[in-house]
Every structure is written in C-alpha cells, then in structure tokens.
Amino acid sequence: MGKLPPSLRSANFAVNTLIKTPSPSPNSKPHCYPKKSQPPKKKPTSNTEPQLPSSIVAFDSTSLSDAKTLFNSLISNSRNPTSDNKFYNAVLQSFSSNSTLQDSIFFLNHMIKVHPPFSPDRFTYHVLLIQSCKSVDLSLSPVHQVLNLMTTNGFPPNKVSTDIAVRTLCSLGHEEQAIELVKELSSKDSPPDTYTYNFIVRHLCKNRPLSTMNNFIKEMREGFDIKPDLVTYTIMIDNVCNSKNLREATRLLGVLSEEGYKPDCYVYNTIMKGYCMLSQGGEVLGVYMKMQEEGVKADLVTYNTLIYGLSKSGRVKDAKKFLNVMMEEGHVPDAVTYTSLMNGMCREADPLGAVALLEKMEARGCAPNSCTYNTLLHGLCKGRLLDKGMKLYDVMKQNGTKLETGSYGTFLRALCRNGRVAEAYEVFDYAIESKSLTDVAAYTTLESTLKWLKKAREQGLVI
Amino acid sequence: MLPQRMKKAMTDNPKKLANLIDLVNLPSTLREFMGQSQTSRLGCFKRVWSYIKENNLQDPNNKNLVNCDEKLKSVLLGKPQVELTELPTLIKLHFPKQPR
C-alpha cells in the first residue's frame, strides 16, 4: 500500500506520450516507426502477387548462396515482378535478420544486379544500418561501413538515420556507442533532432548514472549548441524524483526557469509525482495552487496525482473535495482516481467508506481494476473486517483478479489470526493458480505467517 | 510487521532461497510418498498439500486439522493428526541444513 503505482504509472505515461505526441517533424518520425512494422505491412503486398506465398519472404537458411538462388527463382517465376521497393526491402530485411552484415551487403548487390529495375532507396540502406548497429560490440566500424556505403550511393545519413541508429544501439544497451555516434554525426551535419536527443536522455536516465547524462548534455551544448528543451527537463526532473534526489530536482527547476521555459502541465505533474515519491504528498496542494496562479490547465493526471498525494498524506477530506472539483471541470474520474481515494480512506481506518465508494464508482460506470480490489482487501483486513474481506475475495476470485504481494500477506495474516488456517491455505492455492505471485513468494509468505502464528499462540496473543 | 520483514530477508538471502528450491536426494520414506527420488522443499510441500486435498484428509469439523492416512503418517512423523499450521515445520524436518 505504501507504494506508488497507480497515479505514478499514469504520470509516467504522460511524460512518454509527451515525447511522442507532438506533431512529427517533416520527415523524421514517420520513418522510424513504420520501419519497425515493415515486415507485417509487407506481407499483404507480397500476398497480392499470387505466385509469391508470403512464407517465401522468410529465409530459413543463413547461407548467402541459398538466398541468392531463392531470390533468382522469385524474380524469374513471377511474370511481372512488383516494382514496389517495399517488397525488396522486406526481402532484404528478412535475410538480414539472420545473417551477417557482410552477407547482407553482398545480397543487396546481387539483388541490384539480377533485377536492375530495383534501385535501393533510403529505406534499403536503413535496413543495413539497423543490422550494423546490432552487430556493434565495442567499435562502431560496421556502422561506419554502412554510413559510408549510404554516402557513396547518394544517401548521406540524415536525421532519420541518426534516429534509427541511436534507437537500435540503445535498445541493445550500447549507450556509449550511441553517444559516440551522435557526436560524430553532429559534427558531420546530421545532428539529432529533439526526438532522438530526448530519447537518448531518457535512455541514459534509466540505464546509466546521472553523471553520464549530465556529461552528454554538457557536451552537446558546448560542442554542437544543442540544448535541452522543456521535454528534456521533464524527463530529467522525473528521473531525479524517481531516485528521490530532491536537491537535484530543485536545481533543475531553477535551471528550467533560468533558461526561460515556462513549466507546462506535464512538468507540474512530474513535480507532484516527485513529491508523492518523496513521501511529501501534502506538498502537491501547493503545486496545484501554483498551477492555478500561472494559468496552467490541470488535466486528469494532475487530479489523479493530487488526489493520490493528499490521500497518502492523510488529507482525505481535501482529496474528496478535489474529486468534485475535477468532475466540475469536466474530467471523468477513472479507476486510478477512485483507488487513490480508497487508499486514503483505508489509511484513515474507514474501509467501509471505501467499500461504499466502490459501489458508487461502479454505479458511475467506472470498472474497478485489480489495484482497486487489492487496496480494498488490504484495507478491510487491516480494519479487522475479515468477513467483508472474504466477500471481496470471492468477487476477486470470480473475476480472476490477481492478488498483490502486500494484500496477499495481510489477508493471510488476518485469516490466521482468526484461526482460519485452512482458508489461508486456500488463498495460497489461489495465489499460485492465478499466477499472482511466484511459488516461492507465495510459500515464503505462508510459511512465515504460520511461524508468526505459532509464536503468537505461544505468547498467548492469539487463540 | 515482522512476517513481511522476514519474507524480504528470505528472498534476499540466496542461501535460504536455495534451501527452499534446490533439488535434493530424498530419504527412502519420502521417496516412496513422492514417487520420485529428488525434489525441493517447496515441491514436497506442494505435493503433501495437494495429497491432503485430493484425499479429503481435512477434518470435516475443523478444517485446520488433518487426519493422516497411513501414507501421510509415514512422512509426518507418524502423527495421527496434524495441524495445518505445523505442516511447513514438519516437512522442513526432512530437509536438514546441508553442511557446506
């Protein structure tokens, strides 16, 4: 119960969407996402060609000569081979997915030779680029090879190439190489756009120490005059809040205003979330007031975080007030909102009120999620209302709702305390059967609960 | 609360975890019951518990008690009746700490 998930998750989500939602810059974004989904998209195209079963695009052999033969037969067997480059790119991609970079390059040359109408485009080289990034271990030489190949064939690397390379490298954990590549490309006139830049920053936040990211930002600023934007700052603040680094968060806020940025809704949401993270949920109200002052419009996540923070710091009355405020503003409270509020009510030893709220939310057409049920179960058990808890558990079982570690432990203890060990065993079975917990986690909790029960009995605390 | 802290210690401690899930060679009494020569403490517990359920050995008047049949008696110290509470402890007896 002391953990953050519900509102946090949504706040996190907001930051992510923030990065993706802004309208894509002219030619950068559309490329890298379609890229990934290319093979599935490709299949329909190849299916329209009756002689080409879609399975033919899948190479099961890694041998270059086999692939060449396959391609030859593909071309000679179909009366009028498609002129759609996508098809050839898909063929190349499918081959490259289980062969070496060198072979892929040979195969591409072969394709051009055998079937002259096919002229490789940028996508074609990006297929190779992705593969080269995957084969990086310590040096970037394969990537350079492909980049040179692109330049000599009239497709000098651009923003898209940078983005693709960086995303591939980062997804494989080669952050250092990605940084090196970005710096190199920046000096060669294809600097990363804001999306690529923010992607790296976010990735570094998650996977590297803070100093790596700070160095990167500093180097980009000094070397290439690429500065963090508002989104970058949001990512950074979010990150330091997650690691409970209050001092750094305050410093970043200062930098933010020095740079002349006006915090938007997402920044405020992140700050609120940060306070919740630092167990200073009461501070959220101040942040909300500031937002009102600055004329920033609060969104659903703001209210969810606000209600969560207030509930967590024991100000349920205020939290309830904001439930009404948000509805007046036209926001529809969701499961997260209600669960946060129930959490607060359970903390105030008012589990019955929380159950009443459950009925209310269902009446309003909002379906509870597993977190809602777990919160209530935990609250009821803590409030010594085991029978109500048992009823709730039956509902959970009917819906196949998973138990969470915290509520599972509390429930077991409550059952054992009331001498209902057999039922505790049954809950143990359900936890395993519904895959809520691992066998080990479920068993250790049961074992330690029984041990505790034995001790309590010896001391005469429990009958 | 105490149990939670204990649980955390349990999963954090690789030795204790190994104690629970490592396969060990079983003594002959257990071997017969389990129908296999190796199992982990966790596996053994789950087997015994499912055996109790399959054969309806829980006391109809007090579900917390188990009336052992002959086969179960052989693994649970020959007791005619055991409490569910002591089940993990009894099973643990078959899995002495291994000197390392």
Q: How far is CA A386 from CA A2, A22, A240, A334, A379, in A?
A: 21, 49, 40, 27, 10
Does position A372 have pLDDT exceeding 80, yes or no? yes
* Domain map (residue ranges) of chain A: 389-463
What CATH class does B2-92 carry?
A: mainly alpha
pLDDT band, residue A46 (cuts 50/70/90):
very low
Strands B38-39 and B24-25: antiparallel
- Which chain A residues are within 8 Å of B63, Cβ to Cβ? 421-423
Q: In chain B, pLDDT over 70 holds for what percent of residues?
A: 85
Minimal-distance CA residue of chain B relative to A449:
B3
Separation of alpha carbons B12 and A350, rounded Å: 34
- Which chain B residues are within 8 Å of A439, Cβ to Cβ? 42, 46
Query: Which member of A441, A446, A452 has the closest CB to residue B11?
Result: A441
Q: Taking CB atoms and an 8 Å limit, are B7 and A425 in contact across chains?
A: no
Give residue ranges of A with CB < 8 Å to any B CB: 409, 413, 416, 419-423, 425, 429, 439-441, 443-454
Does position A32 have pLDDT exceeding 70, yes or no? no
- Which chain A residues are within 8 Å of B58, Cβ to Cβ? 422
- Angstroms from B56 CA to nearest CA on chain A: 12
Q: Taking CB atoms and an 8 Å limit, are B3 and A449 in contact across chains?
A: yes
- pLDDT, one tens digit per residue, over A118-152 is 778 888 888 888 888 887 667 777 888 888 888 88
- Coil, strand or helix at A72: helix
How many CB atoms lie under 10 A from the CB of residue A191?
18
Separation of alpha carbons A413 and A417, rounded Å: 6
Question: Cβ contacts of residue A360 below 8 Å, gap of 6+?
Answer: none
DSSP-assigned beta bridge partners for residue B24: B39
* Domain map (residue ranges) of chain B: 2-92
Separation of alpha carbons A188 and A171, rounded Å: 24
Long-range contacts formed by A427-430: CB under 8 A, 24+ apart: A427/A393, A427/A403, A429/B49, A430/A397, A430/A403
Quote the tokens at residue A294: 């600055």
- Angstroms from A463 CA to nearest CA on chain B: 13
Q: What share of chain B is helix, strand, coil (3-state, %, to 5)?
A: 55, 10, 35
Does position B59 have pLDDT exceeding 70, yes or no? yes
Query: Which member of A422, A452, A453 has the closest CB to residue B58?
Result: A422
When mean pLDDT is compared across A62-76, A180-194, A253-267, A281-295, the lowest value belongs to A62-76
- pLDDT, one tens digit per residue, over A205-215 is 888 888 888 88
Separation of alpha carbons B54 and A101, rounded Å: 58
Query: Which member of A409, A419, A449 has the closest CB to residue B64?
Result: A419
Contact indicator for A439, B41 with CB cutoff of 8 Å: no
- Which chain B residues are within 8 Å of A444, Cβ to Cβ? 7, 10-11, 20
- Which letter does DSSP use for residue A461 in this model? S
Residue among A378, A425, A437 with most chain B CBs within 10 A, to mutate: A425
Averaged pLDDT, A210-239: 83
Minimal-distance CA residue of chain B relative to A405:
B4
